[in-house]
Structure 1
Amino acid sequence: MSGQQQPDRGSASQVFQPLAGDDPTTIAGYRLAAKLGAGGMGKVYLSYTPGGRPVAIKVIRPEFGEDPEFRRRFAQEVRSAQRVQGLFTAPVIDADTDGTQPWLATAYVPGPSLADAVVAHGALPVEAVLLLIAGMAEALHVIHGAGIVHRDLKPSNVLLAADGPRVIDFGIAYAADATSLTGSGVTIGTPSFMAPEQAAGSRVTPATDIFALGQVAAYAATGTPAFGEGTSHGVLYRIVHEEPDLTGVPERLRELVTRCLAKDPDARPSIAEIIALCQSANAETVLRRPEDWLPGAVSADITARTAAPAPVQAPPPPTVAPTAAAPAPAYSPTTPVAPAYAPTAPATPATPPPGYGPAPAYQPPQPPQPQPQPYRAPVPAPAPAHAHAYAPTQASPHTPAPAPAYPGHPMPPTQQPPKSRGKRGAVIAVAVALVFGIAGGGTAYVLLKNEEKGAGSNQAHQQPQGGSSASPGKQKSGGTGGEAAPKQSAKPDPAPADHKGINLTAGYHLTLGDDTVRPQPGEDGGYELSYDTGGYLDAETTGGNMVLLDPGQEGSLATCRAETRFASNIYVNKLSKGRQICVTTGSGHLGLVTVQGFSAEDSPSKYLTLDVTVWRNAVGARSGS
């Protein structure tokens, strides 16, 4: 899945459209620099990471967000897409599937879509088409490996970058199929590039994308769809019942296109066979992408899309960026074939324009404080004040800060001392200095106490009557009706106990107080941490709770003690590799759970691989939730 769509061809001013009155200025902390385009699913905007990497953010139309089945499928596809890290896809780096308007963010690809390039500059040369199809085949290998069928592979979902093509929007069509909007005037997908089984409403498989790949190859080589244009019904009828028109397809591409466009899904070639066909059709034995693999006019469009738009004004800065997820294993086709590309680094802006790239959040100086909020808080509750990205207003350097009140007392009001005591205070100060120089601090303390008694001092905070000054935590409240402040505990922090590589299967639970934390059967029984078969982690113990830490937030005992964004359960589709969860049990234990992986799509059981760190008796036992 990806979120990027391309607008009409043209100059940079046409590529980066200014935000209109109905466009947001930020999306969950991402500041928007420009609008990239719009389609049947929603609008796409340009933003930047703190390091200057451009990202494309697709905001799904509100109508789709109102459909529960769409949301369910969308969340499922986003989770799968986050595992797709191929060379020829735009990786999904962030998403929100539960907000008022679902959205997802992908790496921005500075290049026109294949559809725009062909409309603007005509069909591509054979060598470019071979490189295009080989790269798309590698992208499909990674997409299918994540358990996703694209379903909407078409020229507008293929972007042409300087180092090869990028396949985008994989999985979105599956989510869109779930909503009734697709049958009431909202068009998702293009009939000209559907497969026969798709048009007939039959079962969709990875072979469906192979048929669409053949159609994309014919379009790139001729500039027209293989089954012609016209009404949707007419095009779909020809796809199901007639043969494609390949009269304009070059001879070197004919076998590749013909085999991909077989009506029978089982007769279509595999990914490895497609790459081999591209290699045999090429003059060289191995496909290599030259620096100018695209025609010059198309390359110029890439340059136009690389330029960063200048901001009109700087929106307020969001919080810090999420930690990048670890990349998935590299592409390795089942049949050994030579690599189709020798890619170079894409040309992307080195730094964001002024006013965009989110600045690092304000870090409070005193521990323990929770780490700053990330780009997007996964819960709708407002972020705590201490995690706000803005720096607090600084007092004037010439204005002394008011002294803090002792525990159990309010801050005394600021007032001028009576003039009658000004001279007396100066005399006392001189006396103190002299006495300290001669007899030491103890004599000065006695002198001060006697002076205060003689003056009838009745201030709110007095020094204790002992021989030395006590700490504020041990002082008693002055005046009547005051209570003594609680003593600070001198108990040291408990030592952490680490439990690595726990495979927590759905329907099982963990007890953090066990000497060896390991899964036990049962998901409903007041357990401290269970993986419910409904697809969520659950904290059922009386007084227990969980907090999902934000990406980039440091998981530590201090953080878990300070966080208060409590939840009783967390859905697994919100998690990704590296995310951390603080678990507090009713018996007073604290646990830090780090997600290390998920079960494979073909695994007979559903499980999470977790690292768990436990601090026993780190908080007081709780009697209620």
Structure 2
Amino acid sequence: MSGSVTSGVFQVLEADDPPMVAGYRIAARLGAGGMGKVYLSHTPGGRAVAIKVIRPEFAQDAEFRQRFRREVQSAQRVQGLYTAAVIDSDVDGPTPWLATAYVPGPTVSAAVAEHGRLPARTVLMLVAGIAEALQVIHGAGIVHRDLKPSNVLLASDGPRVIDFGIARAADATSLTASGVAIGTPSFMAPEQAAGGETSDATDVFALGQVAAYAALGAPAYGEGPSHGVLYRIVHEDPDLSGLPTELRTLVSRCLVKDPAGRASLTEILDLCGAAADQTQLRRPEDWLPAGLAAGISKRPPVPNPVPTAPAFDPSPPTSRPAPAPAPQAATASAHSRPVVGSPQLAGQYQASPMGHQPEGYGPPGGYGSPQTVHPARPMPMPGHPYLPPPARPRNRTAVVLVSVFGVLLLVLAGCGAMLNMFSREADDRRTADGSGSNPSASAKAVPRPDPQPETYADIKLAYDYHLKFADVPVEPVKYSTDDVFYNCGFGSCEFATFGAKLARLDSGSDGSLQACRQETRFTTRIPVEALSKGSRMCVRTNNGSIAMIAYKGRSSKDEPSTYAILDVTVWRGADRKD
């Protein structure tokens, strides 16, 4: 969310803004950024939510969609006190979106713009809250990659980190290869600015920059053209001379150039406690400066959704007043605006077709996929029985011609059936006396042979990599949508799939093709904790192949990468029905 602390929080919808996203009726626009626009809506129970609608160019990128789906699934498991929870999403529709809890507070950037630099006491509490949020986010296997002042909200009970995982999804798309930078230059880490690998330490560097910005009122590496800022981040030291004394060690430990030398999140929390002269931080209710806290309490009330349909008027049509003239194109009504989830969106927020949406503050029937509401059949009113409309007069000449053609078609069909019957009887007689054979019977008698298995031993499937069984040879690939991938988070790992079917075989199974064909206990996720060395899993792919995976172990905790060791056997085309 962006905007002033005391005004301009809720922006009026414009002609190109949708009045509805799926089943969520939009009340206002909260802001816009490089990834999309953010709108205010409500759940069915009336709780305010922020809905981010992804930009069309990202929605059209297959790699982004696949990665975005994964990141949203991981983000939904993040339940921290200082994160804005992801409560709903649509990652497969033509226009991806996600809904998070709405936080009634300004961003750090908006607060600094209106109130100036924040006091050291507030910055310490801010850094401690962000560090705790990052612990939860990193525990879910997510690197934020775009932590910045506009992605941290200030609420009366502490900060909230938002947009975690979205930049990670975008970082994998073909858009990055065409020159689209992911992240904000003034708050990038050196390895990120140089195009290197990002890690949890990347977010620590960004945390130090957010702290410096809040305390100094400006970025630690200055402002100006992005290439100049990025050069200073990689090659020069920041100017921290204006920082309060209690913040200098904390920020300096975060802004170490080498990722391996930066402070851990645990160290950051310890430094915050030491700087506050406390063994354990306790966040007071007045952790924000008085002027900023007063601005939050005086924020305008959350607006109601924009109506998407006129109210029902029970009066007869003859007694209703004449409609007012249509407004000019510059003041388009809600009915003329596109709806995310309707076929109106040709090139902007294009989404799956939907029927008329029932009135309400959230998606019909809860958080499931929007449902088409079919128009009701005419029902009789009391005292006025329903009469069907009178039949239209028919053209007698056309009726006669249709009847004649119908009779001719029936005669031809009957002749064809008789000829077919005589032909089958002749084939049967030839088969009985040995003078011929029945081709259809012989074809059914020959079963399709099973395909030969292809075996690949000791595959090291790293975290975030896929096995695509249509490939020859089968080997780990990145950013694919098929068929099985290795996912880790919250200290555990799992084998998962989006389009295929997974099944864990019993320990006594022989791991044959027949065993995989007979298996019916399919799932989409199998935790590594449920497997032992030698355990087997069957995979039935959406392209008709069957694979058997033998689990042989995984990397140790002291290794730099996370991977599983597998033997894979593939029977190509074994599951095809043709």
Match of 1:82 among 70, 76, 91: 76
Residue 59 of structure 1: CA displacement? 0.5
- Is 1:396 aligned with 2:381? yes
Match of 2:4 among 3, 9, 28: 9
Structure 1 counterpart SS, 2:248: helix
Mapped partners of 1:393, 1:49: distance in 2? 32
Structure 1 counterpart SS, 2:172: coil
Mapped partners of 1:26, 1:289: distance in 2? 38
Match of 1:263 in 2: 257
Residue 69 of structure 1: CA displacement? 1.0
- Is 1:525 aligned with 2:517? yes
Mapped partners of 2:280, 2:300: distance in 1? 30
- 1:285-310: CA deviation from partner (whole Å, max 9, x where unpaired): 43222222112332244235561114
Mapped partners of 1:109, 1:98: distance in 2? 26
Residues 391/173 of structure 1: CA separation in 2 closer, same or farther (3 Å cut): same
Residues 202/603 of structure 1: CA separation in 2 closer, same or farther (3 Å cut): closer
1:190-205 equivalences under 5 Å are 190-205=184-199
Match of 2:120 in 1: 126
Match of 2:302 in 1: 308
- Indicate conservation of the 8 Å contact 1:40/1:186, yes or no: no
Mapped partners of 2:376, 2:277: distance in 1? 61
Residue 252 of structure 1: CA displacement? 0.5
Match of 2:61 in 1: 67
- 1:453-479: CA deviation from partner (whole Å, max 9, x where unpaired): xxxxxxxxxxxxxxxxxxxxxxxxxxx
1:245-284 equivalences under 5 Å are 245-284=239-278
Mapped partners of 1:286, 1:510: distance in 2? 46
Unaligned segments of structure 1, at least 5 residues: 1-5, 318-354, 362-372, 403-411, 415-502, 542-567, 570-600, 607-623
Match of 2:218 in 1: 224
Residues 135/314 of structure 1: CA separation in 2 closer, same or farther (3 Å cut): same
Aligned partner letter, 2:65 = R
Residue 520 of structure 1: CA displacement? 7.8
- 1:511-560: CA deviation from partner (whole Å, max 9, x where unpaired): 9xx9x9x998769637545357999998899xxxxxxxxxxxxxxxxxxx
Aligned partner letter, 1:7 = S
Aligned partner letter, 2:46 = G
Residues 75/304 of structure 1: CA separation in 2 closer, same or farther (3 Å cut): farther
Moved more, 226-235 or 251-260: 226-235
Percent identity between matched residues is 58
Match of 1:117 in 2: 111
- 1:201-226: CA deviation from partner (whole Å, max 9, x where unpaired): 22211011111111111111111111
- Is 1:95 aligned with 2:89? yes
1:9-28 equivalences under 5 Å are 9=4, 11-12=6-7, 14-28=8-22
Structure 2 counterpart SS, 1:212: helix
Mapped partners of 2:270, 2:372: distance in 1? 56
Match of 1:494 in 2: none
- Indicate conservation of the 8 Å contact 2:25/2:305, yes or no: no
- 1:368-400: CA deviation from partner (whole Å, max 9, x where unpaired): xxxxx544428xxxx465xx7x98876534457
Structure 2 counterpart SS, 1:525: helix
Match of 2:202 in 1: 208
Mapped partners of 2:116, 2:73: distance in 1? 37
- Is 1:52 aligned with 2:46? yes
Residues 22/393 of structure 1: CA separation in 2 closer, same or farther (3 Å cut): farther
Q: How many residues align?
A: 390
TM-score scaled by length of structure 1: 0.55
Mapped partners of 2:179, 2:504: distance in 1? 49
1:315-326 equivalences under 5 Å are 315=309
Mapped partners of 1:398, 1:283: distance in 2? 82
- Is 1:145 aligned with 2:149? no
Residue 116 of structure 1: CA displacement? 0.8
- Is 1:358 aligned with 2:356? no
- Indicate conservation of the 8 Å contact 1:77/1:148, yes or no: yes
Mapped partners of 2:310, 2:82: distance in 1? 34
Structure 2 counterpart SS, 1:15: coil
TM-score scaled by length of structure 2: 0.60
Residue 240 of structure 1: CA displacement? 1.1
Residues 357/203 of structure 1: CA separation in 2 closer, same or farther (3 Å cut): same
Aligned partner letter, 2:31 = G
